[in-house]
Amino acid sequence: MTAPPSSPVPSQSSGTAPTTPASVERATALTEELIDRGAPWSSKTSWQIVGGEAIIAGIVGLLILFRPVGGSSSALVLMGLMLLVAALINAFEVWRDKVRPDLVSLAAFRAGSGVTVGLVVVAATFLTGVSAEVTASLAVVIGVGFVIFGAAGIASSFIGRVANTPLPLPGIIINSVLVVAGAVLIFAGAAGSSSVDGIFNLVGILIIVAAVALGGYAYLLRQQELSGIRR
């Protein structure tokens, strides 16, 4: 009597065993390194939020760079709206307890300053006539908002840093770009509306570069969430 043929045992090489794709593992490792190095989002932030920020930044950057409608005044309004949206997202994360307890006060201040400046710019645009003086003044106001928002982000990177850990470069770089852009706007606004026109190309390019970086980071977060490692 012959024994029934035994069922073949699936091997690792057959591809039937669950494995984690190498791309997901690389994305997970890189995302964890960015978070450990102080990326300006908490470890609980979803990829949809970062992706939304990337889309908004990309659209604003293109509109500021090419200024299809309204010239400098419209570009300033867009920059004010960008700051307002970023501050509202920050406030939402504070409200949903997505921020570490030791950083809540600074995050709330950062969100409050961004919302205040953004609302001032939007209100001033619709309530006052657009003139060279108004354009220059709005540039200064937005510049101050960028400097405060970016400086608070840099401060949170250092305050949230754990001893003997790498320098939080991603957060510092991104927020330093905001500080530099804000300083440029302040000096350009102080010099007059003609100087404001000249710096929009630079600001637009910087925002587009930041949007691309945000999109890449959102992709890494999405890969990690799809792998089931990050929930």
What percent of the chain is predicted at pLDDT more than 90? 5
Domain with 55, as residue range(s), is 23-226
Look over the chain and give the mean of its residue pLDDT values, rounded to a whole number.
74
The yes-or-no verdict on residue 148 having pLDDT over 90 is yes
Question: In the prediction, which pLDDT does 202 show?
Answer: 78
Instruction: State the DSSP string of 25-43.
Output: HHHHHHHHHHHHTT-SS-T
> Helix-strand-coil percent breakdown of the chain, rounded to 5?
75, 0, 25
14 inside domain:
no
Question: In the prediction, which pLDDT does 35 show?
Answer: 52
4 inside domain:
no
* pLDDT category of residue 52 using cuts at 50, 70 and 90: confident
Question: In the prediction, which pLDDT does 147 show?
Answer: 93
Task: Give, to the nearest 10 degrees, the angle between helix 193-226 and helix 169-191.
Answer: 160
- Name the DSSP class of 164: T
Q: What CATH code is carried by the domain that includes residue 75?
A: 1.25.40
* Distance (Å, whole) CA 146 – CA 177: 9
* pLDDT category of residue 24 using cuts at 50, 70 and 90: low
12 inside domain:
no
The yes-or-no verdict on residue 10 having pLDDT over 50 is no
Q: What mean pLDDT is predicted for residues 216-224?
A: 78
Number of domains in the chain: 1
Q: What mean pLDDT is predicted for residues 203-231?
A: 76
Q: What is the pLDDT of residues 93-113, one digit of tens each?
A: 888 887 778 788 888 899 999
The yes-or-no verdict on residue 135 having pLDDT over 90 is no
Predicted TM-score of the model (pTM): 0.64
Q: What mean pLDDT is predicted for residues 209-225?
A: 80
Q: What is the pLDDT of residues 172-189, one digit of tens each?
A: 777 888 888 888 888 877
* Distance (Å, whole) CA 190 – CA 156: 29
47 inside domain:
yes
Question: In the prediction, which pLDDT does 13 show?
Answer: 44
2 inside domain:
no
The yes-or-no verdict on residue 4 having pLDDT over 70 is no
Judge residue 4's burial from the number of C-beta atoms within 10 Å of its C-beta, 0-12 exposed, 13-18 middle, 19 or more buried. Answer: exposed
Q: What mean pLDDT is predicted for residues 201-206?
A: 79
Per the model's pLDDT, the better-predicted residue between 68 and 211 turns out to be 211
154 inside domain:
yes
The yes-or-no verdict on residue 44 having pLDDT over 50 is yes
Question: In the prediction, which pLDDT does 16 show?
Answer: 43
Question: In the prediction, which pLDDT does 201 show?
Answer: 77
10 inside domain:
no
5 inside domain:
no
Q: What is the pLDDT of residues 55-95, one digit of tens each?
A: 888 887 888 788 766 666 777 777 888 888 888 888 888 88
